[in-house]
Amino acid sequence: MHLKSNGSAHQAKPSRIEKELIPAALDDPANPPTSGNEHRQHPRYRYRPSTGLTLLLRHPGGTASRCTVTPQDLSQSGIGLLHTAFVHAGTRCIVSVPCLEGEPRLVAGVVVRCAHLRGQLHEIGVVFDSLIDLGQHIDPNQARVILGEATEWPRFSGKVLYVDASVDACELARFLLAKLGLGLHAATSLAEGLGLLSGNEFRLVAVGIEGTGLDEMAPAGTLRERGYDGPIVACIQVDTPEARKEALAAGFTAVIAKPFDFKSWSNVVRERLSGHFAS
């Protein structure tokens, strides 16, 4: 997934509605940070709007900033976000949560955790001041593909090689695969990836494909020529039936569309590594 972020929080001139909300919500001392156990009382659902969403922050020093973050999951009581900057726990915030119809809803809350993933990537947990109606934000017809808090996924063992020029895509893949127990070795070029094949046993190799055509699909054949006989996954940016057919015809064993998510990876991993569960 391409992380839609401006890199770090920056000072921004607030809009009229933000000016009204910041004194009432960002500075509200009556809403202290809640514990991790409290904000996990409600099921979390996979939440992937087509665009990043806006996060307004009131930092401990008193300054306000606005940044764009990538949502990961949503519940009645909070939201999980990916961001390329650190945010202190206890920071008051307003999240602009897209609705299925109409304008986004501005929801006040507090940051309860910020976990460093890798590089500049952080996972932020926000607890809302009051419960929201999930029906305004998530299509109930998609319930079968939404992950609840109690969902358990199998754990696998082994390493995955992921080749992609996008550092953001590599870091997100590392984060998602770690949830399945898999370690990821990232390479930003095919040449670098081929170098990693020597001396490493990879259960699966994935390659980021930005375009279409024979040249874009060539890595699968090159990997086979170098002796790799495991699953090879194409992570395609241009998701069309033709691109999927081209990838499979070129030797890829599975296809994931970008921006990818946990469900896409988990499905491919379960299909291709069914015999390699962790003990």
Q: What CATH number is given to the structural domain containing 197? A: 3.40.50.2300
Whether residues 111 and 210 share a domain: the answer is: no
Look up the CATH number of the domain holding residue 36.
2.40.10
Whether residues 25 and 115 share a domain: the answer is: yes
Residue 154 belongs to a domain: no
Q: Omega of the bond prior to 259 within 30 degrees of 0, cis?
A: yes
Residue 152 belongs to a domain: no
- Which residues span the domain enclosing 27? 16-145
Chain segment 87-103, per-residue pLDDT in tens = 988 899 999 998 888 88
What pLDDT does residue 183 have? 92
Residue 22 belongs to a domain: yes
Residue by residue, DSSP assigns 105-164 as EEEEEEEEEEEEEETTEEEEEEEESS---GGGTS-GGGGGGSPPTT-----B-SEEEEE-
Residue 2 belongs to a domain: no
The residue among 145, 175, 198 that closes a domain is: 145
What pLDDT does residue 206 have? 96
Residue 1 belongs to a domain: no
Whether residues 114 and 192 share a domain: the answer is: no
What pLDDT does residue 54 have? 92
Whether residues 255 and 210 share a domain: the answer is: yes
Whether residues 28 and 141 share a domain: the answer is: yes
Torsion angles phi and psi, residue 222, rounded to 5 = -65, -40
Length in residues, the chain:
279
What pLDDT does residue 213 have? 72
Whether residues 136 and 194 share a domain: the answer is: no
Whether residues 174 and 135 share a domain: the answer is: no
Whether residues 93 and 200 share a domain: the answer is: no
What pLDDT does residue 141 have? 63
The residue among 115, 145, 175 that closes a domain is: 145
Residue 153 belongs to a domain: no
Whether residues 20 and 141 share a domain: the answer is: yes
Give the whole-angstrom CA distance, residue 151 versus residue 82: 21
Whether residues 31 and 80 share a domain: the answer is: yes
DSSP H/E element including 256: strand 254-257
Ranges in the chain, pLDDT < 50: 1-40, 143-152, 275-279
Whether residues 115 and 170 share a domain: the answer is: no
What pLDDT does residue 5 have? 32
What pLDDT does residue 39 have? 38
| Number of domains the chain is built from | 2
Whether residues 102 and 208 share a domain: the answer is: no
Q: Which residue has the tokens 């990821």?
A: 184
By CB atoms closer than 10 A (0-12, 13-18, 19+), residue 59 is middle
The residue among 145, 180, 196 that closes a domain is: 145
Residue 48 belongs to a domain: yes
Residue 3 belongs to a domain: no
